[in-house]
């Protein structure tokens, strides 16, 4: 799971160039020479991406997963994601003009792309119902950026090696960020946030927790959202550990998995604990047909035995999940759950009143107080986030938004499943199967966690979606190429 040395240098150079360019642009007192240097660096970056488009995709993935723009914004500098997207897009267009870069036949991805555009149109149409027009426009423009990012990555990764390399960038970047959190845990030095790349949120998590609990929040400064991102990355590691033939890489993968799991535990995110459980079940029982069932049950048994031996705070957090069971008696005593129930019921009420278009994209917060007062579960004054992607989509974009979003998800998972079947009888491409399955489980894990979280950092999901669309396209191209090469007239 290592990047080639030259690609690692490409990645480092790209981040440095983008960062320096952002400093130059954001500093009004900079002299002409500094702007000139920034321009030269930008031109070099453009040339590098023209020569190696996947380099641009990897830089973009790295910048998004590290939330690099947020770190720059905190010190008064402009973000790098938009300049990067524009640079990569221009480079792809130039390369396509001279050498051809865009996939010509996209029949296998047509349904996915169609539902993606329809979902965007649902957001645009919901603007008509929005009370807060400015917020609606902001969310629509954010979706425009996300779609451009999806296509930028899709069109940049035009071979299987580049696609796998991009997945490795996701895994390595997330693991390195979690390694910073591991340092905080081991040393107890939570004040060291590594320039914002390893933030910590102190919140009251347990009863009698007067001083608050330090929850690892990664570069996004939200422990629940960071946990959701980690849950989506863990399947990408799990499948490689199981299917990687190189023992050294298996050990490295196991180490990465340990770091990711440790940080996930210390986010204290119950929704992500549930999502991780779903991921493990899928990996072992749905996608792991070749695994020894005896070893699986031994592993589960070991987990059950070890659970009581976990530090009390983790055991208490797992134990608090009992409130969701039929026999749970602490439901009404959990303020967090009460608040989320109020949010969920308010969202359903918004959908009931506005079933077609919703209350307008980005307008859940604006309408929350009006609806929560009628429901009467929570009386805290102020705006609240939806805390559930499903509730948010239904409330803000209505049935049109929900149908198109679910259509895109189903098409995405179905496309990966068809790609998996198409290579099952082709020895030359069968080694790609674990990569396809890992993306399927990654999407499912993210969406399970999204049942308890809204779309604040959904751009991470769009990266996984872009890698999945790319996989569907690449597998189709290679299967067709293989079929053509085995035709009698071609062989002759």
Q: How far apart are CA 234 and CA 229, in angstroms?
A: 9
Question: What token pair was written down for 82?
Answer: 């938009």
CB neighbour class for 468 (10 Å; exposed up to 12, middle 13-18, buried from 19) = buried
> Comparing C-alpha atoms, which of 119, 180, 60 is closest to residue 400?
119
| Model pLDDT, residue 35 | 58
| Model pLDDT, residue 490 | 35
Q: How far apart are CA 71 and CA 463, in angstroms?
A: 20
Which stretches of the chain score pLDDT less than 70? 1-40, 206-211, 288-337, 376-383, 486-492
Question: What token pair was written down for 453?
Answer: 């979280």
User: Which residues lie closer than 8 Å to 199 by C-beta, 6 or more apart?
Assistant: 193, 217, 218, 219, 220, 221
Question: Which helix (H) or strand (E) segment is 308 a member of?
Answer: none
Question: What token pair was written down for 426?
Answer: 């082709």
> Comparing C-alpha atoms, which of 149, 154, 148, 147 is closest to residue 115?
147
The pLDDT tens digits of the residues spanning 36-69 come to 666 667 777 888 888 899 999 999 999 999 999 8
| Model pLDDT, residue 283 | 86
Q: What is the DSSP string of 457-474?
A: TTHHHHHHHHHHHHHHHH
| Model pLDDT, residue 73 | 83
| Average pLDDT of the chain to the nearest whole number | 84
Would you call 214 helix, strand, or coil by DSSP? strand
| Model pLDDT, residue 152 | 95
Contact 62, 169 (CB under 8 A): yes
User: Which residues lie closer than 8 Å to 163 by C-beta, 6 or more apart?
Assistant: 157, 435, 467, 470, 471, 474
Q: How far apart are CA 124 and CA 401, in angstroms?
A: 10
């Amino acid at each position: 799971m290592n990047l080639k040395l030259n690609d690692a240098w490409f990645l480092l150079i790209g981040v440095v160039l983008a960062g320096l360019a952002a400093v130059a642009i954001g500093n009004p007192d900079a002299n002409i020479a500094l702007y000139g240097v920034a321009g030269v660096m930008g031109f070099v970056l453009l040339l590098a991406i023209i020569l190696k488009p996947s380099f641009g995709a990897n830089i973009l993935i790295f910048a998004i997963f590290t939330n690099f723009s947020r770190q720059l914004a905190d010190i008064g500098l402009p973000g790098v994601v938009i300049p990067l997207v524009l640079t990569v897009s221009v480079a792809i267009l130039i390369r396509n003009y001279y050498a051809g870069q865009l996939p010509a036949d996209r029949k296998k991805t047509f349904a996915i792309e169609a539902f993606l555009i329809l979902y965007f149109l649902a957001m645009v149409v919901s603007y008509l119902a929005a009370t807060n027009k400015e917020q609606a426009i902001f969310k629509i423009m954010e979706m425009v950026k996300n779609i451009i990012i999806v296509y930028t990555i899709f069109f940049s990764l035009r071979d299987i090696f580049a696609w796998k390399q991009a997945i490795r960038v996701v895994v390595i970047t997330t693991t390195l960020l979690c390694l910073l959190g591991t340092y905080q845990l081991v040393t107890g030095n939570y004040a060291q946030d590594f320039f914002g790349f390893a933030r910590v949120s102190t919140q009251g998590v347990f009863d009698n927790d007067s001083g608050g609990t330090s929850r690892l929040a990664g570069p996004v400064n939200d422990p629940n959202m960071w946990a959701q991102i980690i849950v989506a990355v863990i399947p990408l590691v799990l499948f490689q550990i199981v299917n990687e033939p190189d023992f050294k890489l298996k050990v490295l993968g196991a180490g990465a998995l340990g770091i990711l799991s440790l940080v996930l535990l210390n986010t204290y995110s119950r929704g992500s604990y549930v999502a991780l459980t779903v991921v493990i079940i899928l990996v072992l029982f749905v996608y792991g047909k070749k695994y020894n069932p005896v070893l699986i049950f031994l592993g589960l048994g070991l987990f059950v035995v070890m659970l009581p031996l976990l530090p009390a705070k983790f055991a208490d957090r797992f134990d608090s999940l009992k409130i969701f069971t039929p026999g749970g008696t602490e439901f009404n005593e959990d303020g967090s759950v009460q608040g989320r129930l109020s949010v969920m019921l308010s969202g359903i009420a918004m959908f009931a009143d506005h079933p077609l278009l919703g209350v307008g994209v980005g307008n859940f917060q604006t309408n929350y107080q009006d609806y929560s007062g009628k429901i009467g579960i929570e009386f805290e004054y102020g705006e609240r986030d939806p805390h559930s992607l499903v509730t948010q989509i239904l409330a803000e974009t209505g049935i049109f938004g929900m149908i198109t979003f679910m259509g895109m998800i189903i098409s995405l998972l179905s496309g990966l499943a068809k790609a998996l079947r198409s290579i099952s009888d082709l020895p030359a491409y069968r080694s790609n199967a674990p990569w396809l399955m890992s993306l399927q489980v990654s999407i499912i894990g993210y969406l399970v966690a999204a049942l308890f979280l809204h779309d604040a950092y959904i751009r991470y999901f769009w990266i996984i979606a872009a890698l999945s669309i790319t996989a569907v396209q690449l597998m189709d191209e290679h299967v067709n190429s293989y079929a053509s090469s085995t035709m009698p007239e071609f062989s002759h």
